[in-house]
Amino acid sequence: MKVLLTGSSGQLGHALQKFVPPNIELITCTRAQCDLANSNACIEIVRNHRPAWVINSGAYTAVDQAEIEPEIAFAVNAEAPAAFVEALSEYGGRLLQISTDFVFDGNQGIPYKIDQLVNPLSVYGSSKAAGEKAALKFEGARVLRTSWVYGPVGKNFCKTMLRLHADRASAGHVLKVVADQIGSPTSTFTLAEACWRVIMLEKELVNRRLFHWSDAGVASWYDFAFAIGELAVQNGLIQRAADLKPISTPDYPTPAQRPSYSLLDCSSTSKLLRLDQRFWRTSLAKVLHQLRADLSSS
Protein backbone atom coordinates (compact mmCIF):
# COMPACT_ATOMS: atom_id res chain seq x y z
CA MET A 1 0.00 0.00 0.00
CA LYS A 2 1.34 3.41 -1.00
CA VAL A 3 1.20 6.11 1.70
CA LEU A 4 2.24 9.73 1.27
CA LEU A 5 3.51 11.31 4.50
CA THR A 6 3.63 15.08 4.87
CA GLY A 7 5.76 16.69 7.56
CA SER A 8 8.23 13.83 7.31
CA SER A 9 11.04 15.87 8.87
CA GLY A 10 8.93 16.81 11.89
CA GLN A 11 8.67 15.02 15.21
CA LEU A 12 5.63 12.88 14.35
CA GLY A 13 6.91 12.33 10.82
CA HIS A 14 10.11 10.79 12.18
CA ALA A 15 8.16 8.44 14.45
CA LEU A 16 5.82 7.38 11.64
CA GLN A 17 8.86 6.44 9.56
CA LYS A 18 10.43 4.60 12.51
CA PHE A 19 7.37 2.42 13.03
CA VAL A 20 6.13 2.02 9.44
CA PRO A 21 4.50 -1.39 8.87
CA PRO A 22 6.38 -3.75 6.51
CA ASN A 23 3.70 -3.77 3.80
CA ILE A 24 3.69 0.03 3.40
CA GLU A 25 5.44 1.84 0.55
CA LEU A 26 6.09 5.16 2.29
CA ILE A 27 6.61 8.32 0.25
CA THR A 28 8.07 11.00 2.51
CA CYS A 29 7.33 14.63 1.84
CA THR A 30 9.20 17.53 3.42
CA ARG A 31 8.25 21.19 3.24
CA ALA A 32 10.77 21.65 0.44
CA GLN A 33 9.01 18.96 -1.58
CA CYS A 34 5.50 20.23 -0.85
CA ASP A 35 4.78 23.55 0.82
CA LEU A 36 1.54 22.98 2.71
CA ALA A 37 0.77 26.68 2.43
CA ASN A 38 0.45 26.16 -1.33
CA SER A 39 -2.79 24.36 -2.16
CA ASN A 40 -1.75 23.76 -5.75
CA ALA A 41 1.41 22.00 -4.57
CA CYS A 42 -0.70 19.76 -2.30
CA ILE A 43 -2.97 18.79 -5.19
CA GLU A 44 -0.06 18.21 -7.53
CA ILE A 45 1.89 15.88 -5.26
CA VAL A 46 -1.17 13.69 -4.71
CA ARG A 47 -1.92 13.54 -8.44
CA ASN A 48 1.71 12.66 -9.17
CA HIS A 49 1.93 9.79 -6.65
CA ARG A 50 -1.72 8.68 -6.34
CA PRO A 51 -1.23 7.21 -2.85
CA ALA A 52 -3.83 5.01 -1.19
CA TRP A 53 -3.48 7.27 1.89
CA VAL A 54 -2.11 10.68 2.76
CA ILE A 55 -1.05 11.06 6.39
CA ASN A 56 -1.03 14.81 6.94
CA SER A 57 1.29 15.09 9.93
CA GLY A 58 2.65 18.42 8.72
CA ALA A 59 1.13 21.46 10.39
CA TYR A 60 1.61 25.05 11.46
CA THR A 61 2.14 24.54 15.22
CA ALA A 62 3.54 27.90 16.37
CA VAL A 63 0.56 28.60 18.61
CA ASP A 64 1.51 32.14 19.63
CA GLN A 65 2.94 33.16 16.24
CA ALA A 66 -0.35 32.16 14.63
CA GLU A 67 -2.02 35.10 16.40
CA ILE A 68 -0.02 37.53 14.26
CA GLU A 69 0.04 35.53 11.01
CA PRO A 70 -3.37 33.82 10.84
CA GLU A 71 -3.31 33.67 7.03
CA ILE A 72 -0.35 31.28 7.05
CA ALA A 73 -1.82 29.21 9.89
CA PHE A 74 -5.10 28.75 8.00
CA ALA A 75 -3.32 28.08 4.70
CA VAL A 76 -1.34 25.21 6.24
CA ASN A 77 -3.83 23.83 8.75
CA ALA A 78 -7.11 24.28 6.86
CA GLU A 79 -6.51 24.85 3.15
CA ALA A 80 -3.94 22.05 2.79
CA PRO A 81 -6.31 19.29 3.98
CA ALA A 82 -9.00 20.74 1.73
CA ALA A 83 -6.58 20.49 -1.19
CA PHE A 84 -5.66 16.90 -0.31
CA VAL A 85 -9.36 16.03 -0.19
CA GLU A 86 -9.89 17.56 -3.63
CA ALA A 87 -7.11 15.47 -5.17
CA LEU A 88 -7.82 12.24 -3.29
CA SER A 89 -11.52 12.31 -4.16
CA GLU A 90 -10.61 12.08 -7.85
CA TYR A 91 -9.64 8.42 -7.51
CA GLY A 92 -10.76 7.21 -4.07
CA GLY A 93 -7.65 7.81 -1.98
CA ARG A 94 -7.92 8.41 1.75
CA LEU A 95 -6.69 11.04 4.21
CA LEU A 96 -5.59 10.78 7.83
CA GLN A 97 -5.64 14.33 9.20
CA ILE A 98 -3.85 14.91 12.51
CA SER A 99 -5.63 17.40 14.78
CA THR A 100 -5.38 18.72 18.31
CA ASP A 101 -7.00 19.14 21.71
CA PHE A 102 -6.80 22.90 21.09
CA VAL A 103 -10.05 22.69 19.12
CA PHE A 104 -11.79 22.62 22.54
CA ASP A 105 -12.16 25.55 24.94
CA GLY A 106 -11.17 23.68 28.11
CA ASN A 107 -14.19 24.86 30.09
CA GLN A 108 -15.27 21.43 31.33
CA GLY A 109 -13.72 19.24 33.97
CA ILE A 110 -14.13 15.85 32.33
CA PRO A 111 -12.37 14.41 29.24
CA TYR A 112 -13.69 15.57 25.88
CA LYS A 113 -15.60 12.96 23.91
CA ILE A 114 -15.24 12.54 20.16
CA ASP A 115 -18.69 13.89 19.32
CA GLN A 116 -18.52 17.09 21.39
CA LEU A 117 -18.73 20.44 19.63
CA VAL A 118 -15.46 22.26 19.11
CA ASN A 119 -14.94 25.81 20.40
CA PRO A 120 -11.30 26.88 19.88
CA LEU A 121 -9.83 29.80 21.80
CA SER A 122 -6.92 30.66 19.51
CA VAL A 123 -6.08 31.17 15.85
CA TYR A 124 -4.13 27.92 15.92
CA GLY A 125 -7.09 26.01 17.37
CA SER A 126 -9.46 27.67 14.91
CA SER A 127 -7.24 26.77 11.95
CA LYS A 128 -7.05 23.13 13.06
CA ALA A 129 -10.83 23.01 13.58
CA ALA A 130 -11.27 24.37 10.06
CA GLY A 131 -8.91 21.65 8.82
CA GLU A 132 -11.05 19.01 10.51
CA LYS A 133 -14.18 20.41 8.89
CA ALA A 134 -12.57 20.45 5.45
CA ALA A 135 -11.34 16.88 5.85
CA LEU A 136 -14.61 15.46 7.15
CA LYS A 137 -16.53 16.71 4.12
CA PHE A 138 -14.78 13.82 2.35
CA GLU A 139 -16.03 10.32 3.12
CA GLY A 140 -12.52 8.92 2.76
CA ALA A 141 -11.03 11.14 5.44
CA ARG A 142 -10.24 10.27 9.06
CA VAL A 143 -9.32 12.82 11.75
CA LEU A 144 -7.20 11.87 14.76
CA ARG A 145 -7.01 14.41 17.59
CA THR A 146 -4.13 14.27 20.04
CA SER A 147 -2.57 16.39 22.79
CA TRP A 148 0.74 17.77 24.08
CA VAL A 149 2.86 15.91 21.52
CA TYR A 150 6.59 15.48 22.11
CA GLY A 151 9.38 13.16 21.01
CA PRO A 152 13.17 12.83 20.69
CA VAL A 153 13.20 14.77 17.39
CA GLY A 154 12.19 18.36 16.69
CA LYS A 155 11.14 21.29 18.84
CA ASN A 156 8.83 20.45 21.72
CA PHE A 157 8.17 21.04 25.43
CA CYS A 158 10.21 18.04 26.55
CA LYS A 159 13.39 19.09 24.75
CA THR A 160 12.93 22.70 25.83
CA MET A 161 12.57 21.62 29.47
CA LEU A 162 15.71 19.48 29.24
CA ARG A 163 17.68 22.54 28.20
CA LEU A 164 16.07 24.78 30.82
CA HIS A 165 16.61 22.23 33.61
CA ALA A 166 20.32 22.09 32.77
CA ASP A 167 20.69 25.86 32.41
CA ARG A 168 18.73 26.87 35.52
CA ALA A 169 20.25 24.16 37.71
CA SER A 170 23.81 25.16 36.80
CA ALA A 171 22.99 28.84 37.44
CA GLY A 172 21.12 28.11 40.67
CA HIS A 173 17.93 29.66 39.32
CA VAL A 174 14.35 28.52 39.80
CA LEU A 175 12.39 27.24 36.78
CA LYS A 176 8.82 28.55 36.73
CA VAL A 177 6.20 26.37 34.99
CA VAL A 178 2.44 26.78 34.57
CA ALA A 179 0.53 24.43 36.86
CA ASP A 180 -3.12 25.21 36.09
CA GLN A 181 -3.37 23.90 32.51
CA ILE A 182 -4.31 20.21 32.50
CA GLY A 183 -3.90 17.63 29.74
CA SER A 184 -1.99 14.51 28.84
CA PRO A 185 1.50 14.48 27.29
CA THR A 186 1.62 12.20 24.25
CA SER A 187 4.75 10.56 22.90
CA THR A 188 5.25 10.52 19.13
CA PHE A 189 6.04 6.81 19.52
CA THR A 190 2.58 5.91 20.83
CA LEU A 191 0.87 8.41 18.53
CA ALA A 192 2.56 6.91 15.47
CA GLU A 193 1.37 3.46 16.49
CA ALA A 194 -2.22 4.72 16.70
CA CYS A 195 -1.95 6.39 13.29
CA TRP A 196 -0.78 3.20 11.63
CA ARG A 197 -3.57 1.23 13.34
CA VAL A 198 -6.20 3.55 11.83
CA ILE A 199 -4.81 2.82 8.38
CA MET A 200 -4.20 -0.91 8.80
CA LEU A 201 -7.69 -1.47 10.28
CA GLU A 202 -9.37 0.62 7.58
CA LYS A 203 -11.95 -2.03 6.62
CA GLU A 204 -13.05 -2.48 10.23
CA LEU A 205 -13.33 1.26 10.84
CA VAL A 206 -15.36 2.12 7.76
CA ASN A 207 -18.05 3.94 9.76
CA ARG A 208 -15.68 5.80 12.09
CA ARG A 209 -14.38 9.17 10.98
CA LEU A 210 -13.05 10.79 14.15
CA PHE A 211 -10.61 9.48 16.76
CA HIS A 212 -9.01 10.68 20.00
CA TRP A 213 -5.59 9.46 21.05
CA SER A 214 -3.21 10.47 23.82
CA ASP A 215 -1.13 8.75 26.44
CA ALA A 216 -2.97 7.83 29.65
CA GLY A 217 -3.08 9.83 32.84
CA VAL A 218 -3.41 13.46 33.82
CA ALA A 219 -0.73 16.12 34.10
CA SER A 220 -0.18 19.84 34.31
CA TRP A 221 2.74 21.43 32.48
CA TYR A 222 4.37 21.64 35.92
CA ASP A 223 3.91 17.89 36.47
CA PHE A 224 5.33 17.18 33.04
CA ALA A 225 8.34 19.45 33.60
CA PHE A 226 9.03 17.87 37.00
CA ALA A 227 8.95 14.35 35.53
CA ILE A 228 11.23 15.41 32.66
CA GLY A 229 13.85 16.64 35.13
CA GLU A 230 13.54 13.61 37.37
CA LEU A 231 13.77 11.02 34.59
CA ALA A 232 16.44 12.96 32.69
CA VAL A 233 18.73 12.74 35.72
CA GLN A 234 18.08 9.00 35.95
CA ASN A 235 18.95 8.63 32.25
CA GLY A 236 22.13 10.66 32.56
CA LEU A 237 20.91 13.39 30.22
CA ILE A 238 21.46 16.12 32.81
CA GLN A 239 23.43 16.16 36.05
CA ARG A 240 20.81 17.89 38.15
CA ALA A 241 17.24 19.03 37.72
CA ALA A 242 16.31 22.63 38.41
CA ASP A 243 14.12 23.61 41.33
CA LEU A 244 10.62 24.14 39.99
CA LYS A 245 8.08 26.74 41.01
CA PRO A 246 4.42 26.29 39.99
CA ILE A 247 2.80 29.41 38.56
CA SER A 248 -0.65 30.24 37.20
CA THR A 249 -1.55 31.07 33.62
CA PRO A 250 -1.83 34.83 34.31
CA ASP A 251 1.74 34.74 35.65
CA TYR A 252 2.95 33.64 32.20
CA PRO A 253 0.89 35.60 29.66
CA THR A 254 1.03 34.47 26.03
CA PRO A 255 -0.47 35.93 22.84
CA ALA A 256 -2.65 32.83 22.34
CA GLN A 257 -5.14 31.61 24.92
CA ARG A 258 -4.75 27.94 25.85
CA PRO A 259 -7.50 25.60 27.09
CA SER A 260 -7.15 25.11 30.84
CA TYR A 261 -8.38 21.51 30.61
CA SER A 262 -7.99 19.47 27.45
CA LEU A 263 -8.01 15.79 28.35
CA LEU A 264 -9.34 13.63 25.52
CA ASP A 265 -11.58 10.64 26.09
CA CYS A 266 -9.76 7.91 24.16
CA SER A 267 -11.81 4.94 25.40
CA SER A 268 -13.71 4.29 22.15
CA THR A 269 -10.56 4.67 20.04
CA SER A 270 -8.68 2.29 22.31
CA LYS A 271 -11.34 -0.40 21.80
CA LEU A 272 -11.61 0.13 18.04
CA LEU A 273 -7.85 0.08 17.47
CA ARG A 274 -7.30 -2.73 20.03
CA LEU A 275 -4.59 -0.55 21.47
CA ASP A 276 -4.03 0.14 25.16
CA GLN A 277 -2.98 3.61 26.26
CA ARG A 278 0.36 3.83 28.03
CA PHE A 279 0.85 5.94 31.13
CA TRP A 280 2.48 9.19 30.06
CA ARG A 281 5.45 8.78 32.44
CA THR A 282 6.19 5.37 30.92
CA SER A 283 6.17 6.90 27.45
CA LEU A 284 8.34 9.79 28.65
CA ALA A 285 10.94 7.34 29.98
CA LYS A 286 11.11 5.65 26.56
CA VAL A 287 11.59 8.98 24.78
CA LEU A 288 14.36 10.04 27.16
CA HIS A 289 16.02 6.64 26.75
CA GLN A 290 15.95 7.18 22.98
CA LEU A 291 17.45 10.66 23.41
CA ARG A 292 20.28 9.16 25.45
CA ALA A 293 20.88 6.49 22.78
CA ASP A 294 20.89 9.15 20.04
CA LEU A 295 23.45 11.24 21.95
CA SER A 296 25.65 8.18 22.55
CA SER A 297 25.70 7.30 18.87
CA SER A 298 26.37 10.84 17.62
Phi and psi torsions of 257, nearest 5°: -80, 135
pLDDT for position 32: 80
How do 219-220 and 210-212 pair as beta strands? unpaired
Mean pLDDT score of the chain? 94
**pLDDT at 202 exceeding the cut of 90:** no
Which pTM was predicted? 0.93
pLDDT in tens, 206-255: 789 999 999 999 999 999 999 999 999 999 999 999 999 999 999 999 99
- What is the Cα–Cα distance from 156 to 225, expressed in whole angstroms? 12
The three-point CA angle 58-64-66 to 5° equals 55
Domain boundaries, the chain: 2-147+185-215+263-277
pLDDT in tens, 246-287: 999 999 999 999 999 999 999 999 999 999 999 999 999 999
Q: Which long-range contacts (CB under 8 A, 24 or more apart) does 108-112 make?
A: 108/261, 109/261, 110/263, 110/265, 111/263, 111/264, 111/265, 111/266, 112/212, 112/262, 112/263, 112/264, 112/265
- The region, left, alpha or beta by phi > 0 then psi within -120 to 50, assigned to residue 285 is alpha
Q: Which residues contact 35 (CB under 8 A, 6 or more apart)?
A: 41
By annotation, the residues acting in catalysis are 124
pLDDT band at 298 (very low <50, low <70, confident <90, very high): low
- Residue 59: helix, strand or coil by DSSP? coil
**pLDDT at 94 exceeding the cut of 80:** yes
pLDDT band at 33 (very low <50, low <70, confident <90, very high): confident
- Residue 250: helix, strand or coil by DSSP? helix
H runs (alpha helix) in the chain: 11-18, 39-49, 70-74, 80-88, 123-136, 157-171, 188-200, 221-234, 267-273, 280-297
Q: Which residues contact 138 (CB under 8 A, 6 or more apart)?
A: 85, 88, 89, 95
**CB atoms closer than 10 angstroms to residue 171:** 9
Helix axes 80-88, 39-49, angle to 10 degrees: 30
pLDDT in tens, 102-124: 999 999 989 999 999 999 999 99
Superfamily of domain 2-147+185-215+263-277 in the CATH hierarchy: NAD(P)-binding Rossmann-like Domain (3.40.50.720)
Q: Which of 179, 173, 169, 171 is nearest to 241 (CA)?
A: 169
